[in-house]
Amino acid sequence: MKKLIYLFVLLTVGLSAKAQVLGSDFETVVAAGKQDASTLMGAYINPAMEGLIFAMNGGWYHTAKTHKKFGFDISLAVNASMVSSDKENFNITDFDYEGTVVATPGTTPTVMGSGDPATITYVTSDGAETVEFEMPEGIKDDLPLNAVPAPTLQATVGLFYDTDVSLRYTPKVGDESVKGQLYGVGLKHNLMQYFGPLDKLPLNVAIMAGYTNMTVDYDIEDGSTFDGSNQRAEFSLDSYTVQAVASLDFPFVTLYGGLGYAGGKSSLGVLGTYVVEYNGGETETIVDPISLSYNPGGVRANLGASLNLAFFHIFADYTIQDYSNLTAGVAFSFR
C-alpha cells in the first residue's frame, strides 16, 4: 500500500503517481471494528490531517503590492507545517474502546512519528472473539524537518481597483489506484489607494482571502489484507484564510508579513466491505469502517522576505500558528 502521505500530496505535487510502501497496511486497523478502528486511526493520522490544513493556507503571497491591470505572476512554493515532538507518538491506553485493546508496547508512532509500531490484540465487546494486527508505521524518517508538505502552483493576475485574483488548480491526476485533484482561489485588495499621496511610499497594505479544496480517491482493494468489495479510501480537504498583509517593496528586496486567521476541515473515510477473520475462525463483515473529520483553526502571523531579480523572485517566510509553517518558493512576475 502506498504511504499515507501520498494521499495528501499527490494533487499538490501533480507530477508523479509513484509511491512507496508502508511496512504495515493502514487498513489492518479495520480489524478493531467500526468505532474502535476509527479511534485508533484517528489518533494515528491526526498530525497529518490537521497539519495539511495549515500548510495549504501558506504561499498565497510574497508581497502586499498588487499588479497593474492584467499584470501577472506564476509562483511555485513549498509549504511545510512543522509537527511538534508530542505529536509523533500516542498512548493507545489513553482512549476508550468498545472492545478490549491490548497493545505491545503501549505507545505507537503517529503517521508523523518513527520507530516500531505497536502490535494490537483486540477482543470484541462480547469477549467472544480475538484478532491480532499491527499498527501502521510512521514516516518521520522519510520527511525533511518532520513537516507535513504541501507544494502549491499558483497563477495571479491583476484586475480592476488594485485587486489581484490568484488561482490554484491541478486536474485529476494519478494512476489506477490513486487519483485526486485540487483547486483554489484567492483575492488580494491593496488599501493604499485610499490614503492619497501615501500610495507613493514603498509601503503597501492589503487584505487577502484564500480558499483551497483538495480531494483524493484511493482504491485499496488490490492487495488488501481483507476479503470484501469496493474497498477504497476517500480524502477531502477545505482550507481557508483571511489576512491583513503589509510589505515594504524596494527594487531588489521586499519585506512582508501578515496577520489573520487560518482554518479548515479535512476528512478521511475508509469505505467498502471488509471481512475480518478472528483467531477462532469466525468472520464478521464490516461496512464503511472508518470515518474521520478534523476542523482545526486559529490565528496566524508570518514574516518573510523576497529577493527581486527583475521579473524573477525568490521568497521565504515563517508562520507562527498551531502548526508553524515554513514557506519557500520562486515566482515569475510581470507587473
CATH fold group of domain 4-334: Porin (2.40.160)
Q: Which of 287, 309, 267 is nearest to 8 (CA)?
A: 267
Residue 14 · residue 153 · CB < 8 Å: yes
Total H helices, total E strands in the chain: 2, 17
Q: What are the two backbone dihedrals, phi and then psi, of residue 44, each rounded to the nearest 5 degrees?
A: -65, -45
pLDDT at residue 326 greater than cutoff 80: yes
DSSP code of 29? G
Q: For the segment 16-27, what is each residue's pLDDT rounded down to a tens digit?
A: 322 333 333 567
pLDDT at residue 56 greater than cutoff 70: yes
| Chain mean pLDDT for the chain | 87
Q: For the segment 111-155, what is each residue's pLDDT rounded down to a tens digit?
A: 899 999 999 999 998 888 899 999 988 888 877 778 888 888 899
pTM: 0.86
Q: Rounded to the nearest 10 degrees, what angle do helices 34-56 and 4-13 cross at?
A: 30
CA distances, 65 to each of 205, 253, 257 (Å): 7, 13, 12
Q: For the segment 199-249, what is each residue's pLDDT rounded down to a tens digit?
A: 778 999 999 999 999 988 888 887 788 899 999 889 899 999 999 999 999
The grid coordinates listed for 122 are 483486540
Residue 211 · residue 239 · CB < 8 Å: yes
Q: Which of 199, 204, 231 is nearest to 217 (CA)?
A: 231
- Give one DSSP letter per residue of 234-279, joined into a string: EEEEEEEEEEEEEEEE-SSEEEEEEEEEEEEEEEEEEEEEEEEEPT
